[in-house]
Chains A and B, each alone.
Chain A
Amino acid sequence: MSDRIIGPGDSPPQKYRVEAEPDPAALVAPTMREMSEPTDGIAPTPVWLLLFFFVLAGWSGYYIARNAGGFRADIYNEHYIAGAAPSLEKPAPADPLVLGRQTFNVCMQCHQDTGKGIPGTYPPLEGSPVVLGDPATPVRILLHGLQGDITIEGATYNGQMPSWDRFSDEQIAAVLTYVRQAWTNSAHPVDPALVAAIRKQTGERAQPWTWPELVIASKTPPPSATEPAEPKPAKP
């Protein structure tokens, strides 16, 4: 290699001298005024620092022993003890209003947290006669969905409502109870038994409802409905 190593005491190589500018002072001013290359001090490591490190190392050992799940591939929760009952899942809240509110997190995507819906597409739930009327109708809608136009208080909405039959009876009852009592709404709670009854009655159905079908369906009360079926259908 043509690179010559320059050490202190070496004379500058020829190549450099050729390139050198005539005014060395200005040329190297920043370089000349700088301090010598850094050196190391020899302050000892403080004892408290070493102690601190031992404490940390001890904590780490303890933490690994407690939280590594035996290095097993199937232990995800560090507090889980292999073989124990899967008890760490939070039970669903007992209060239907709380469960209903949690379930409503899903409904909000369309009906909004205000319950006012999206004009022209997703109908409002606040003040809606469908929500506040006979609970059998909203239960049917939740179980199988709804397609085609629906008219609420004179305004038409054409969005599609998917089916939520994967929700349990309790969950459907809870979310309807919540919706019937949220915002300015106030209507009596919905009984999970009603949901179970309607689920059984309409189990065969594969299509989403249309509004005219729902009006017809509301005329036949569910077999073991606990409440008097007094349909108060929206004017379509």
Chain B
Amino acid sequence: MSAIAVSPEAAPDVTADYVTRVQIDRSCRQTVLGYYASAVAWLLIGSLAALITSVKMHHPEFLGNYEWITFGRIRPVHLNTVVYGWSSMVGIGTTLWLEARLCKVRLPHRALLPATVIIWNAGVVWGVYEVLAGHSTGVEWLEFPPQVLGIFGFVLLVLFWVSLKMFNQRHVHHTYVSQWYLFGSVVWFPILYSAAILLPTTGMVGGAAWATTNWWYAHNVLGLYVTPMGLATIYYLIPKVTGKPIYSYHLSLLGFWANALFYSWIGTHHLVGGPLPAWIITLGIVGSIMMFVPVTTVAINHHMTMIGKFHMLKTSPTLRFVVFGAVSYTAVSYQGSLEALRSVSHVAHFTHYTIAHAHLGMYSFYTMTMFGAMYYIVPRLTRNEWSSVPLIKIHFWTTSLGVLAYFCALSWAGWYEGEMMNNPLIPFIKIVDYTKPYLVARSLSGSFMTIGHIAFAILVFRILRSSDVSMIGPTLFTSKRGMMRWRRKEA
């Protein structure tokens, strides 16, 4: 088997353990693939919504006669489909698989879990419909009707229950760091989500405190839900693919608890300069600066593990995507900490700079990491190999270059937009004019990313559908045509 090992030095693990793995993968198959397939569908829908939004920003008349897709509706549709459709579903799928693998137990509740795929999808569809029909709640990141809580909340409870069960029945003595993050996100998110919906809608919180609740939620979605899932994946996949142990247990521990402690405070940096007493803003800023602690530890841990294994980026699609995500995580977190400072926020707040930052986080870090995860996990569940090296290459280069171009264009435009906005002698319309070329650049880089998503969707579609053929050997960037022989499984 060593001929097809991913890494030449480390030997693949073919001990009795692998029987367990096969069984675990099999137990995950239906659920995780269900989540993944839905996630990719939402990714495509989200990209379409993003493109329409983006074009409307420089050509406001584009599809301007249709109330259902006016800018103010299609934009939240983009955000909610990529957050609750793509990111959540790909994250939940990955969480379940990772937990099963890390606990060495089969996925329990194999009738209920696939049903949650349908239930979650129904929630997103309903929410999107309500937003398009003009019934948004008007609270950013929570535009879906509050009743969706019933749907998502149910699935999240199932998820919590399943995670707890697997954790209590685990067949390992040592709890690996990914496990903490996943378990953290499974506990945090239901609380976040229900608090952010219930507190205001029951009237317990209102007025300006609704704004702090809103941003407490919206930033914690990133920090206590999306980031833990992304980091758990990176923590798992870098050692898994390279065969090296993660650099330091102590750093993992420090990083996890520092993240838990500080991240939950930083949401109010979205209101710097806003109508909130100084102390609330100050706490948000301090939380953001203290995020240097977990971020630095995580960065050392990830990047030190990679040392000596960089050559594998040439071959392994998984590793390349995941390391791209890990590097982006470091970058976006440092940027975010600095952005919270009053002196930076003074310029960057309210501008496209923030949008660029958000995409560096949600896309460059999280989404790229999840692409990597899917490249790793899906072949194990389908017992199939990815069908085309060129498509993977297209996927990687369009998305990575696309998001970089996106980030650069909007950061630059946003910063100058902010500088101009702070100069009262520049007419507002001049600022609008200034940003227009960059908004066009955004549409172009967004189209690039969408091309990548389509390539990826084709790959996923093929690997899911052709369940009766398999290839010999993994699909690496360096795989040659000859190595990709198709073989019919004798079924």
Residues of A within 8 A of B (CB): 1, 3-10, 12-13, 16, 19, 21-23, 26-46, 49, 52-53, 56-57, 59-60, 63-64, 67-78, 80, 101-102, 105, 108, 113
- Asked if B425 and A49 make an inter-chain contact with CB atoms under 8 angstroms apart, the answer reads no
Bound-complex Cα distance A52 to B17 (A): 42
Bound-complex Cα distance A12 to B23 (A): 8
**Cβ-closest chain A residue relative to B287:** A60
Taking a contact as CB atoms closer than 8 A, the residue among A29, A37, A59 that contacts B470 in the complex is: A29
- Tell me the smallest distance from the CB of B387 to a CB of chain A, in Å: 14
**Cβ-closest chain B residue relative to A25:** B1
- Asked if A31 and B240 make an inter-chain contact with CB atoms under 8 angstroms apart, the answer reads no
- Asked if A32 and B1 make an inter-chain contact with CB atoms under 8 angstroms apart, the answer reads yes
- Asked if B250 and A56 make an inter-chain contact with CB atoms under 8 angstroms apart, the answer reads no
Contact indicator per residue, chain B 357-377, by CB within 8 Å of chain A (1) or not (0): 000000000000000000000
Chain B, 7-32, CB within 8 A of any chain A CB: 7, 10, 12-26
By Cβ-Cβ distance, the 4 closest A-B pairs, closest first, are A38-B239, A113-B427, A36-B13, A69-B278
Bound-complex Cα distance A149 to B474 (A): 78
Taking a contact as CB atoms closer than 8 A, the residue among A16, A23, A63 that contacts B26 in the complex is: A16
- Asked if B279 and A72 make an inter-chain contact with CB atoms under 8 angstroms apart, the answer reads yes
- Tell me the smallest distance from the CB of B365 to a CB of chain A, in Å: 20
**A34-B12, A37-B102 are known contacts; what are 13 more A-B pairs with Cβ within 8 Å?**
A6-B20, A27-B22, A28-B22, A33-B1, A36-B17, A37-B172, A38-B245, A42-B250, A59-B289, A63-B282, A64-B286, A68-B282, A71-B279
- Asked if A9 and B26 make an inter-chain contact with CB atoms under 8 angstroms apart, the answer reads no
- Tell me the smallest distance from the CB of A29 to a CB of chain B, in Å: 7
Taking a contact as CB atoms closer than 8 A, the residue among B21, B235, B283 that contacts A34 in the complex is: B21
Residues of chain B within 8 A of A80, CB atoms compared: 278
- Asked if B245 and A113 make an inter-chain contact with CB atoms under 8 angstroms apart, the answer reads no
Residues of B within 8 A of A (CB): 1, 4-7, 10, 12-26, 101-102, 104-106, 108, 169, 171-172, 174, 176-178, 235-236, 238-252, 254, 275-279, 281-283, 285-286, 289-290, 292-293, 296-297, 300, 304-305, 342, 379-380, 383, 385, 424-425, 427-430, 470, 472-474, 487, 489-491
- Asked if A56 and B292 make an inter-chain contact with CB atoms under 8 angstroms apart, the answer reads yes
- Asked if A35 and B293 make an inter-chain contact with CB atoms under 8 angstroms apart, the answer reads no
Bound-complex Cα distance A94 to B88 (A): 56
Residues of chain B within 8 A of A43, CB atoms compared: 247-248, 250-251, 304
**Cβ-closest chain B residue relative to A35:** B243
- Asked if B18 and A28 make an inter-chain contact with CB atoms under 8 angstroms apart, the answer reads yes
Say yes or no: A35-B240 contact (C-beta < 8 A), given A41-B245, A41-B247, A105-B427: yes
- Asked if B106 and A3 make an inter-chain contact with CB atoms under 8 angstroms apart, the answer reads yes
- Asked if B489 and A23 make an inter-chain contact with CB atoms under 8 angstroms apart, the answer reads yes
- Asked if B282 and A67 make an inter-chain contact with CB atoms under 8 angstroms apart, the answer reads yes
Taking a contact as CB atoms closer than 8 A, the residue among B10, B296, B490 that contacts A35 in the complex is: B10
Residues of chain A within 8 A of B5, CB atoms compared: 33
Residues of chain A within 8 A of B385, CB atoms compared: 29-30
Taking a contact as CB atoms closer than 8 A, the residue among A1, A40, A41 that contacts B174 in the complex is: A40
Residues of chain A within 8 A of B254, CB atoms compared: 45
- Asked if A63 and B285 make an inter-chain contact with CB atoms under 8 angstroms apart, the answer reads yes
Residues of chain A within 8 A of B13, CB atoms compared: 34-36
- Tell me the smallest distance from the CB of A56 to a CB of chain B, in Å: 6
Residues of chain A within 8 A of B425, CB atoms compared: 101-102
Taking a contact as CB atoms closer than 8 A, the residue among B7, B241, B243, B283 that contacts A68 in the complex is: B283
- Asked if B104 and A6 make an inter-chain contact with CB atoms under 8 angstroms apart, the answer reads yes
**Cβ-closest chain B residue relative to A93:** B424
Residues of chain A within 8 A of B235, CB atoms compared: 38
Bound-complex Cα distance A8 to B292 (A): 40
Bound-complex Cα distance A34 to B474 (A): 10
Bound-complex Cα distance A78 to B346 (A): 14
- Tell me the smallest distance from the CB of B228 to a CB of chain A, in Å: 16
- Asked if A39 and B171 make an inter-chain contact with CB atoms under 8 angstroms apart, the answer reads no
- Asked if B424 and A102 make an inter-chain contact with CB atoms under 8 angstroms apart, the answer reads yes
- Asked if A40 and B248 make an inter-chain contact with CB atoms under 8 angstroms apart, the answer reads yes
- Asked if A35 and B245 make an inter-chain contact with CB atoms under 8 angstroms apart, the answer reads no
- Asked if B22 and A38 make an inter-chain contact with CB atoms under 8 angstroms apart, the answer reads no
Say yes or no: A42-B249 contact (C-beta < 8 A), given A33-B5, A64-B282, A64-B286: yes
- Asked if A32 and B18 make an inter-chain contact with CB atoms under 8 angstroms apart, the answer reads yes
- Asked if B12 and A69 make an inter-chain contact with CB atoms under 8 angstroms apart, the answer reads no
**Cβ-closest chain B residue relative to A70:** B279
- Asked if B240 and A34 make an inter-chain contact with CB atoms under 8 angstroms apart, the answer reads yes
Residues of chain B within 8 A of A27, CB atoms compared: 22, 383, 489
- Asked if B489 and A8 make an inter-chain contact with CB atoms under 8 angstroms apart, the answer reads no
Taking a contact as CB atoms closer than 8 A, the residue among B25, B108, B236 that contacts A38 in the complex is: B236
Say yes or no: A60-B12 contact (C-beta < 8 A), given A40-B177, A42-B248, A102-B424: no
